[in-house]
């Protein structure tokens, strides 16, 4: 066995132990040993005593010796005997680590991804520490596992990429490494990951990446290019010398359509551009370009942010000096739509408030579900009244943030709302959303929503098309009419940041903002962690050419308070 195989086997032992529920320190010992072997510059088989390696002790040294000499270590036979083999693959599902896989095995009898896919709805959610949202994600991923149709959601792709970038950047031969491809452009779903790096010793970086412990399979491995399969996804890494990093990063960021349009513009200027650099047309001699800024400058253009690179007018706008001043994460001042354990959320008023303070928000609006939405534990009018009091009391305890009480009120079939106007008047803000009867004809559905938008208390139309990425198509609705109504009634349209919604979608957000509608970028968070999905909503807004002036929750508190009080 070579180092790579030994490291992988040590990692497998650690994973199996964790699934079995072994002590944390025991697991860590094998993980550390795996890293030591993987980063060793020469074959571990030549090492007299593996205990000399960093983080290798008595036990792991024995295991390494066994592996180096082609024997199966006792611990591995024992684990293979005990732990069903299919559970390792279960750890590739989102939100499922080895510990969780072990619980699914012990508590639900799961032995493979296929077993997860066949679980009844509610089985995972019934386990302690799981909510309905995480169950949905795990089930969806299990049911589409291995299919080429499967595209990752943004949070999953982001954390996978971060893990790999950490590894690449910590390598001594790495000068720079970045995400490219659709993830850098923040497309709503991600097919495969594209990573680019700059190094003066490309080959050793390529070798290290191919041997990394997170790699499941090496698909291609050259001196400057490695493709691997990891967590069910393909990852491509390209490496160049630092002088050419700008050209490489730009080329692999795409989109392809943007690259093609830019190349045509270059040709009109007598230039050729490629992943290797810029050349005088026809010369074939490519001069490397170190940064993207330099690349655009050489084409007489200002820098075009990755989120705009879709060939939807950005090159013309850049030529004419009218690229938009895009919203940035720091422009967000509050979150207008979050749930708590009053309905189907997992956080409390306090825990959500504290997470929002952590993110620097000036205000937070609690919008739990309304009475008819029984599946989501919607609040009866009596419970809502008590919740209003609880939020007011909590607000008085926090100086750092303004806590407001709203509701996500169901739009009933006929377009009326799920609470009486008298009660709506008591709330600081009302988000109105469709959660039932999705299968209406387009005309009826549009009329239904338009009626709700004309209610004077409805300030935000929640997830306006109801789509769930990879799972549910939007319902039939005339979005252009909703946009016109949003403008005439002064109702904001939501850009729901939850990674499987991103609803409104980018083209509609762009249309809405061009028509003069206001957008509310909010997270619809059901737990503290999801409050940080705000960044994905902001990136979708950037893809839609949105500036902060169009976004209600970019208003600083005093202006936001006035906006609420003024009414529609």
Residues that bind Ca ion (CB under 5 A): 181-182, 192, 194, 236
Quote the least distance from Cβ 352 to Ca ion, whole Å. 34
CB of 192 to ligand DGT, least distance (A): 5
Stretch that binds ligand DGT, among 14-22, 39-47, 237-245, 249-257 (CB under 6 A): 249-257
Minimum Å distance from CB 97 to Ca ion? 25
- The answer to whether residues 508 and 476 touch, using CB atoms and an 8 Å cutoff, is no
Pick 255 or 372: Cβ nearer ligand DGT: 255
**Min separation Cβ 204 and ligand DGT, Å:** 25
Residue number with CB closer to ligand DGT (262 or 521): 262
Closest residue to Ca ion using C-beta atoms: 181
Q: Closest CB to Ca ion among 162 and 281?
A: 162
Rounded CA gap, 22 and 78, in Å? 13
Q: How near is the Cβ of 194 to Ca ion at its closest, in Å? A: 5
With CA atoms as reference, report the closest residue to 53 among 74, 37, 66, 69.
37
Contact set for ligand DGT, span 149-188 (CB under 6 A) = 181-182, 187
- Quick one: what does residue 8 bind among Zn ion, ligand DGT, Ca ion, none, with the CB cut-off 5 to 8 Å set by partner type? none
Q: Which does 489 bind (CB under 5 to 8 A by kind): Ca ion, Zn ion, ligand DGT, none?
A: none
First-to-last alpha carbon distance for the chain, in angstroms, is 71
Query: Shortest approach of ligand DGT to residue 236 CB, angstroms?
Result: 7
Tokens describing residue 359: 């993110």
Q: Among 131-139, 199-207, 345-353, 429-437, which window interacts with Zn ion (CB under 5 A)? A: 429-437
User: Which regions of 44-199 does DSSP assign to beta strands (E)?
Assistant: 152-153, 174-179, 189-190, 193-199
Of 167, 209, 245, 252, the one binding ligand DGT (CB under 6 A) is 252
Per rule CB under 6 A, is residue 532 in the interface with ligand DGT? no
What does 255 interact with, of Zn ion, Ca ion, ligand DGT, none (CB < 5 to 8 A by kind)? Answer: ligand DGT
Minimum distance of ligand DGT from residue 134's CB (angstroms): 24
Residues contacting residue 432 through CB under 8 Å, at least 6 positions apart: 408, 409, 410, 411, 417, 452, 453, 455, 458, 460, 461, 462
Instruction: Report the residue number, 53 or 479, with the smaller CB distance to Zn ion.
Output: 479
Residue with smaller CB distance to ligand DGT, 69 or 148: 148
Q: Among residue numbers 484 through 503, which ones bind ligand DGT (CB under 6 A)?
A: none
Identified binder of ligand DGT from the candidate list 85, 219, 260, 267, rule CB under 6 A: 260
Sheet holding 225-230, edge to edge: 174-179, 193-199, 233-240, 225-230, 217-221
Instruction: Tell me the two tokens of residue 240.
Output: 């160049």
Identity of the residue, 250 or 463, whose beta carbon is nearer to Zn ion in the bound complex = 463
State in angstroms the smallest separation of the CB of 466 from Zn ion.
9
Closest listed residue to residue 355, CA positions, set 201, 477, 531: 531
Looking at 113-121, 340-348, 428-436, 444-452, which segment touches Zn ion (CB under 5 A)?
428-436
Nearer to ligand DGT, 275 or 447 (CB): 275
Rounded to whole angstroms, the Cα distance separating 443 from 448 reads 9
- Taking CB under 6 A as the rule, does residue 255 contact ligand DGT? yes
- Closer of 236 and 292 to Ca ion (Cβ): 236
The helix/strand count (H/E) of the chain reads as 23, 16
- Do residues 231 and 191 lie in contact, with contact meaning Cβ atoms separated by under 8 Å? no
**Alpha-carbon gap, residue 366 to 340, rounded angstroms:** 7
Q: Per rule CB under 6 A, is residue 22 in the interface with ligand DGT?
A: no
Residue 433 interacting with Zn ion (CB under 5 A) = yes
Q: For residue 255, say if its preceding peptide bond is cis, omega within 30 degrees of 0.
A: yes
Q: Which does 187 bind (CB under 5 to 8 A by kind): Ca ion, Zn ion, ligand DGT, none?
A: ligand DGT
Question: Of the candidates 253, 230, 248, which has an alpha carbon nearest to the alpha carbon of residue 238?
Answer: 248
DSSP-derived 3-state class of residue 367: strand
CB of 408 to Zn ion, least distance (A): 5
Nearer to Zn ion, 18 or 410 (CB): 410
Q: How many residues make contact with ligand DGT (CB under 6 A)?
A: 14
For the chain, state the CA radius of gyration: 27
Q: Least CB distance from residue 151 to Ca ion, whole Å?
A: 10
Compute the least distance from the CB of residue 205 to Ca ion, in Å: 18
Residue by residue, DSSP assigns 201-241 as SHHHHHHHHHT-TT-SEEEEE-SSEEEEEETTEEEEEEEE-
Q: What is the 3-state secondary structure (H, E, C) of 259-307?
A: HHHHHHHHHHCCEEEECCEEEECCCCCCECCCCHHHHHHHCCCCCCCHH
Distance CA 156, CA 329 (A): 19
| DSSP-derived 3-state class of residue 246 | helix
Residue among 249 and 504 whose Cβ is closer to ligand DGT: 249
**For residue 246, what are its two tokens?**
């700008």
Of 226, 219, 153, nearest in space to 186 by CA = 153
Determine which residue in the list 254, 306, 345, 537 makes contact with ligand DGT, applying CB under 6 A: 254
Give whichever of 433 and 523 is closer to Zn ion, judged by the CB atom. Answer: 433
| Interacting residues with ligand DGT between 183 and 212 (CB under 6 A) | 187, 190-192, 194
Longest distance between any two alpha carbons in the chain, whole Å: 81
Sign of CA dihedral 419, 421, 427, 432: positive
Name the binder of 433 from ligand DGT, Ca ion, Zn ion, none, CB < 5-8 A by kind.
Zn ion
Q: Give which of Zn ion, Ca ion, ligand DGT, none residue 259 binds (C-beta under 5 to 8 Å, depending on kind).
A: ligand DGT
Residue nearest to ligand DGT (CB): 254
Residues that bind Zn ion (CB under 5 A): 433
Residues that bind ligand DGT (CB under 6 A): 181-182, 187, 190-192, 194, 251-252, 254-256, 259-260
């Amino acid at each position: 066995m070579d180092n790579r195989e030994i490291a992988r086997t040590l990692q497998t032992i650690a994973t199996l132990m964790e699934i079995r529920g072994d002590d944390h320190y025991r697991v860590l010992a094998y993980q550390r040993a795996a890293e030591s072997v993987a980063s060793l510059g020469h074959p571990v088989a030549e090492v007299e005593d593996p205990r000399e390696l960093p983080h290798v002790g008595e036990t792991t040294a024995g295991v390494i010796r066994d592996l180096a000499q082609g024997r199966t270590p006792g611990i591995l036979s024992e684990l293979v005997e005990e732990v069903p083999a299919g559970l390792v693959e279960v750890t590739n599902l989102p939100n499922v680590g080895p510990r969780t896989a072990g619980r699914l095995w012990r508590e639900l009898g799961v032995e493979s991804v296929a077993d997860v896919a066949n679980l009844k709805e509610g089985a995972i959610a019934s386990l302690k520490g799981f909510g309905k949202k995480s169950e949905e994600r795990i089930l969806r991923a299990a049911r589409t596992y291995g299919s080429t149709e499967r595209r990752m959601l943004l949070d999953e792709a982001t954390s996978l990429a971060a893990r790999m970038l950490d590894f690449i950047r910590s390598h001594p031969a790495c000068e720079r490494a970045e995400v490219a491809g659709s993830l850098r452009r923040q497309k709503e779903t991600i097919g495969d990951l594209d990573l680019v790096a700059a190094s003066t010793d490309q080959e050793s970086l390529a070798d290290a990446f191919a041997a990394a412990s997170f790699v499941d399979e090496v698909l291609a491995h050259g001196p400057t290019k490695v493709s691997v399969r990891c967590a069910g996804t393909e990852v491509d890494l390209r490496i160049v010398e630092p002088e050419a990093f700008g050209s490489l990063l730009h080329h692999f960021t795409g989109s392809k359509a943007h690259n093609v349009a830019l190349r045509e513009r270059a040709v009109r200027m007598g230039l050729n551009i490629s992943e290797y650099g810029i050349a005088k047309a026809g010369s074939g001699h490519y001069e490397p370009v170190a940064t993207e800024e330099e690349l655009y400058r050489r084409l007489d253009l200002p820098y075009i942010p990755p989120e705009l690179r879709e060939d939807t007018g950005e090159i013309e706008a850049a030529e004419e000096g009218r690229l938009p001043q895009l919203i940035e994460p720091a422009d967000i001042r509050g979150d207008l739509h979050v749930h708590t354990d009053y309905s189907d959320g997992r956080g409390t008023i306090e825990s959500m408030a504290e997470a929002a303070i952590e993110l620097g928000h000036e205000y937070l609006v609690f919008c739990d579900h309304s009475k008819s939405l029984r599946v989501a534990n919607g609040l009866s009018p009596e419970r809502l009244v008590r919740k209003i009091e609880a939020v007011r009391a909590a607000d008085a305890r926090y100086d750092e943030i303004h806590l407001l009480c709203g509701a996500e009120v169901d739009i009933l079939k006929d377009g009326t709302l799920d609470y009486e106007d008298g009660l709506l008047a008591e709330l600081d803000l009302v988000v109105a959303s469709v959660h039932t009867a999705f299968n209406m004809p387009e005309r009826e559905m549009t009329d239904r929503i338009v009626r709700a938008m004309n209610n004077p208390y409805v300030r935000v139309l929640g997830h306006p098309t109801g789509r769930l990425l990879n799972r549910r198509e939007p319902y039939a609705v005339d979005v252009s009419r909703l946009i016109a109504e949003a403008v005439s009634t002064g109702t904001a349209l939501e850009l729901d940041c939850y990674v499987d919604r991103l609803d409104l979608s980018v083209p509609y957000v762009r249309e809405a903002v061009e028509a003069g509608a206001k957008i509310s970028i909010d997270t619809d968070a059901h737990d503290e962690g999801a409050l940080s999905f705000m960044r994905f909503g902001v990136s979708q807004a950037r893809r839609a050419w949105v500036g902060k002036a169009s976004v209600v929750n970019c208003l600083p508190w005093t202006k936001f308070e006035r906006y609420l009080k003024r009414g529609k």
